[in-house]
Amino acid sequence: MGGCCSRGDVRNGGVALREEDGDDGDFLEDEGSGSVRLGGSCKFVSMYSQQGWKGVNQDAMTIWKDFGGSKDDVFCGVFDGHGPLGHKVAHHVRDVLPSKISPGLRSSQFLEDCDVDKWFSASKDIFVKAFEELDEELAHSSSIDCICSGTTAVSIVKQKDRLIIANLGDSRAVLGTRDDKNQLIPVQLTVDLKPNLPSEEERIRSCRGRVFALEEEPDVHRLWMPDEDCPGLAMARAFGDFCLKNFGLISTPQVTHRELSDKDEFVVLATDGVWDVLSNKEVVKIVSSTSKRSDVARRLVERAVRAWRSKHPTSKVDDCAVICLFLRRVSSLNVVDDNSSLSTFESFKTARSEPSDSEEMMTVEVKEEWSALEGLSRANSLLKLPRFGRVFSWKKKSTSLDEDHKE
């Protein structure tokens, strides 16, 4: 069900695929770090990804249950690749990032019962270090060329009733929670880190990078090299994209935290293919009106694809990936109708009287290579590649700096 892993994709030694009773999708077992899921659904999570109309699906996602060996701790991550090898970068980060974070959180578990500020400070350091170390490894990787390819990453770790959120790029995390009137509302947990955000733009310009939008897409601000109109990256932070790392692009995540309460019901992580066409409010409404938890992620993706076709009929539909992590047991959820309080099942049943999205969707098969695209698409994260001369000069300069540092 929307899985982004097959048996051939498993690269962590000693990890084997197995099916968990009553579950759907790809499931991995790692005795040291808990169980790992790359797609499908289980009692507490729904996952789904769908290829857009631009070529290979460059989105990836993962769930780690009992993360770091701590019972009931959960890691969730969604990754949106871009560039010629963006799918490889996204898959690599998906596979490696959690295992970089896990040891640090395991060693600091004694802080979970300590002062919140002390706990969060230690947790933030762990995330920042893991992100930056992984990006440094990608810079020296011989297996993936990341000069003009990269990925976003939005991830959360749930530790008991505390949530850590780390965001890199323009994917997003949204919480579904209850307000004082017991109405289900969205709370955005991350900031879309676009190049035109004042703090991001200031950093980029101080590093000689440029930020501007093209006339044909005035609402999409992009990051450009100092003396050349490329690559036009539509985000201010990312893994990879080393042609821009000297010009303001960084791999340091924005890390925040939240104390969970009984009012908090679920968290949705999704790539910008979803958020470009669905509002936070619409996403929360779709989740609450879907009768089966296992169907939530698929339904969100189907609604996003339909919205792409109606709102941007001349644009290519973007890849979409969704994880919905449910924070409470089904019996504890009370969905509120306009007139009266209904049980979860009754409210879902009422909402399902409309035709399902899958019945209204048209199947379109598109076979295109990333490099063969023509024209502009609204959500293209990377507009065009730098000339090879500039790329090679950057690589030579980077190598020279590394050698000088070693000396």
Where are the domains positioned within the chain? 7-192+249-406
Q: What is the DSSP letter of 202?
A: H
C-alpha 357, offset from chain centre: 23
Model confidence over 364-387: pLDDT tens digits? 333 333 333 333 345 577 777 776
**Residues 308-313, mean pLDDT to the nearest whole number:** 86
Query: Which residue has better confidence, 375 or 199?
Result: 199
Radius of gyration of the chain (CA): 21
| Mean pLDDT lowest among 161-175, 201-215, 381-395 | 381-395
Residue 391, pLDDT above cutoff 60:
no
CATH architecture of 7-192+249-406: 4-Layer Sandwich (3.60)
Strand 27-30, strand 16-17: pairing: antiparallel
Cα(271)–Cα(78) distance, integer angstroms:
7
126 against 37, higher pLDDT: 126
In contact, 243 and 207? CB cutoff 8 Å: no
- What residue spans of 6-85 are helical by DSSP H? none
174 Cβ contact list (under 8 Å, min separation 6): 186, 187, 188, 189, 267, 268, 280, 283, 284
Residue 285 Cα distances to 263, 268, 376, 389, angstroms: 16, 12, 31, 50
CA distance 76 to 37: 9
Q: Are 102 and 67 in contact (CB under 8 A)?
A: yes
Write down the pLDDT at residue 36: 65
What are the pLDDT digits (tens) for 37-81?
Answer: 566 666 788 989 988 877 888 899 999 888 877 787 899 999 999
pLDDT of residue 185: 95
Contacts of 21 (CB under 8 A, 6+ apart): none
Whole-number Å distance between alpha carbons of 339 and 360: 29
| Cβ–Cβ < 8 Å for 31, 23 | no
What is the share, in percent, of the chain residues with pLDDT greater than 70? 70
Listed range (241-250, 305-314, 335-344) with the worst mean pLDDT:
335-344
CB 164 within 8 A of CB 127: yes
Q: Would you say 174 and 188 are in contact if contact means Cβ atoms under 8 Å apart?
A: yes
At 157 the three-state DSSP class reads: strand
173 pLDDT higher than 50 = yes
SS3 195: coil
Please say if the pLDDT value at position 289 is more than 70.
yes
Least confident of 140-149, 247-256, 382-391, 397-406: 397-406
Q: For the residues 302-325, what does the mean pLDDT come to?
A: 89
Q: Is 256 exposed, middle or buried (0-12, 13-18, 19+ CB in 10 A)?
A: middle
